[in-house]
Amino acid sequence: MAGRKKVLCSQCGFLCWTMVSEQGRREIELPAEQRRAFQVARIEGRQDYPDGKHAVILTCFRGQWHLLDAGPGGGGYLLDSHDLREPRHCPHFFRHHPGFSPEEHKDLQREQEVRRWKRRTALMAVAGAALGVLGSYLHFLLSG
């Protein structure tokens, strides 16, 4: 990962609460005040509801780290080789945009990657055309 700067999970749009129930999983945005608390101290990564059928778990939407036993009634401790409050290299980091869900962050990231690809393609096309013009000009000079 040379060349990539270190980032904080608390500043990423993929840090979220995952609601787990018998019906499945749903990811929701981690509010700003909880993000700030996350930077200072290890916040509780799991909360079970009294009915024993629902849990809310702190997760990475892109799966860069996970929790031990994410189902209702499980332990919910972070399983990772680093403290998530520490800067780290992450290939999926995308800065948090308040009001957007983790899925919407993924869409924003995809749109940004498409725009970058279009810019690079356009730049390569311009460079190719410039080289073609230069080649024609040199051919004209040398043959003439």
At CB < 8 A and 24+ separation, what contacts does 109-115 make? 109/13
Number of C-alpha atoms within 13 angstroms, CB side, residue 60?
20
Which has the minimum average pLDDT: 12-26, 47-61, 85-99? 47-61
Q: Which has the closest alpha carbon to 20: 64, 43, 52?
A: 52
User: How do residues 70-118 score in pLDDT, each as one tens digit?
Assistant: 444 544 444 444 566 778 888 889 999 999 999 999 999 999 999 999 9
User: Structural domain boundaries of the chain?
Assistant: 9-101
% of the chain exceeding 90 in pLDDT: 27
